[in-house]
């Protein structure tokens, strides 16, 4: 046991599935961090839960607890880790295996594979004392303490099973960066004066959520209608950043008025070329959205002083269709009045629930 500084323990251990990482887990980890000079967080589950792959869980843990050592495993990751450390590999224990199998696995992982001995284990479960006892008797040279945190669930009344069943109904138990990863993103594309901004705002109102405005127009207006070549990459980056911020405040859906694909179009149109990073942002855009909507140019062109003309609008619409198809990006074309389009989208989204 260490008494250096303000910490009671030298290195603590927290183990969990974190499918997903909820506020109960965060309370446990926060208590462990406060008591330990260093903290090891290990996550594994076998079988995996669909939608909770290791990379996703690792992203949550590293974002929320950047000072901790985070190890998220599946069998492939464990095999690579063992190979790198020169240790004979094992398979992860199945979730249904006896508790002692999991305890000995963690002892082997900490002392043999990671070479990261611990002197305290933190849990919110009944198995905690037995876990610490196995580590003490078979792996550690001294006692490994067990620290129980909110086992009765009086501080955070939730379970991972509940949240998995419906993350949106239990969003209050998820930190904004975690809940943001459950938000479905809907991208709206369309030529000039095709109603996409109006539709994005109407959809956000209909679904009581957030929408992301077109940063390119904002920058264009702030610079009195002048955009340079480097401004287009700035627009693409900022559009992506604003989507990430808005996702933390959205509910179930986030409606995005345009994407870096639009910025790429204007860059080619204006300058005949585009920087490699902007092209990459445009390429990635097709995989970042759960639904892509293409607004039809099916009502009179409205000139607001910033737009080209109806011929340009039709050419832009045709470019979107061809480019989406070339890139293999599925999309749905919406048409009619704003109310018609909201109804079409509402039916599409209802079918995904």
Q: Looking at the predicted structure, is the pLDDT value of residue 306 above 60? A: no
Residue-wise pLDDT tens digits, 139-150: 988 899 999 999
d(CA 84, CA 104) in angstroms, rounded, equals 21
Which structural domain range is residue 252 located in? 183-350
**pLDDT value at position 16?**
97
Confidence band of 2 (pLDDT split at 50, 70, 90)? very low
What mean pLDDT is predicted for residues 303-325? 79
Question: Domain for residue 1, yes or no?
Answer: no
Question: Domain for residue 71, yes or no?
Answer: yes
Q: Looking at the predicted structure, is the pLDDT value of residue 181 above 90? A: yes
- Total number of domains constituting the chain: 2
**pLDDT value at position 312?**
82
What mean pLDDT is predicted for residues 253-267? 95
159 shares its domain with 33? yes
**pLDDT value at position 126?**
92
Average pLDDT taken over every residue of the chain: 92
pTM score, whole prediction = 0.84
DSSP-derived secondary structure letter, 289: -
155 shares its domain with 187? no
**pLDDT value at position 309?**
57
Residue-wise pLDDT tens digits, 190-236: 988 788 999 999 999 999 999 999 999 899 889 988 899 999 999 99
**pLDDT value at position 352?**
82
The CATH number of the domain where 232 resides is what? 3.40.50.300
216 shares its domain with 314? yes
What mean pLDDT is predicted for residues 91-113? 96
**pLDDT value at position 1?**
45
Element (H, E) at 146: strand 145-148
DSSP character string of 201-249: HHHHHHTT-EEE--HHHHHHHHTTT---HHHHHHHHHHHHHHHHHHHTT
**pLDDT value at position 191?**
85
32 shares its domain with 89? yes
Question: Domain for residue 3, yes or no?
Answer: no
**pLDDT value at position 300?**
61
Question: Domain for residue 178, yes or no?
Answer: no
Q: Looking at the predicted structure, is the pLDDT value of residue 297 above 90? A: no
Question: Domain for residue 2, yes or no?
Answer: no
Burial tier of 177 (Cβ tally within 10 Å: 0-12, 13-18, 19+): middle
């Amino acid at each position: 046991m260490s008494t250096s500084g303000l910490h009671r323990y030298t290195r603590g251990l927290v183990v969990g599935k974190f499918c997903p990482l909820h506020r109960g887990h965060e309370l446990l980890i926060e208590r462990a961090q406060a008591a330990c000079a260093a903290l090891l967080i290990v996550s594994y589950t076998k079988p995996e839960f669909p939608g909770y792959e290791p990379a996703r869980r690792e992203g949550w843990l590293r974002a929320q607890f950047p000072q901790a050592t985070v190890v998220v495993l599946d069998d492939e990751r464990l095999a690579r880790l063992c190979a790198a450390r020169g240790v004979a590999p094992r398979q992860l224990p199945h979730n249904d295996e006896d508790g002692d199998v999991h305890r000995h696995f963690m002892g082997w992982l900490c002392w043999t594979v990671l070479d990261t001995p611990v002197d305290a284990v933190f849990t919110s479960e009944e198995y905690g004392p037995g876990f610490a006892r196995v580590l003490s008797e078979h792996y550690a040279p001294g006692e490994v303490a067990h620290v129980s945190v909110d086992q009765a669930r009086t501080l955070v009344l939730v379970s991972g099973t509940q949240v998995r069943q419906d993350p949106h109904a239990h969003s209050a138990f998820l930190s904004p960066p975690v809940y943001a990863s459950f938000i479905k993103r809907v991208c709206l594309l369309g030529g000039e004066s095709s109603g996409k901004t109006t539709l994005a705002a109407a959809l956000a109102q209909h679904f009581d959520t957030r929408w992301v405005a077109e940063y390119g127009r904002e920058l264009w207006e702030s610079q009195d209608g002048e955009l340079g070549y480097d401004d287009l990459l700035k627009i693409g980056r900022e559009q992506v950043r604003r989507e990430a911020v808005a996702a933390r405040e959205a509910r179930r859906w986030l409606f995005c008025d345009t994407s870096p694909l639009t910025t790429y179009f204007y860059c080619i149109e204006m300058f005949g070329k585009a920087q490699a990073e902007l092209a990459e942002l445009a390429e990635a855009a097709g995989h970042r959205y759960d639904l892509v909507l293409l607004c039809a140019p099916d009502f009179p062109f409205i000139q607001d002083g910033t737009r080209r003309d109806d011929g340009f609008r039709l050419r832009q619409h045709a470019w979107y269709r061809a480019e989406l198809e070339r890139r293999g990006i599925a999309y749905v074309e919406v048409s009619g009045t704003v109310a018609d389009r909201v109804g079409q989208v509402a039916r599409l989204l209802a079918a995904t629930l």
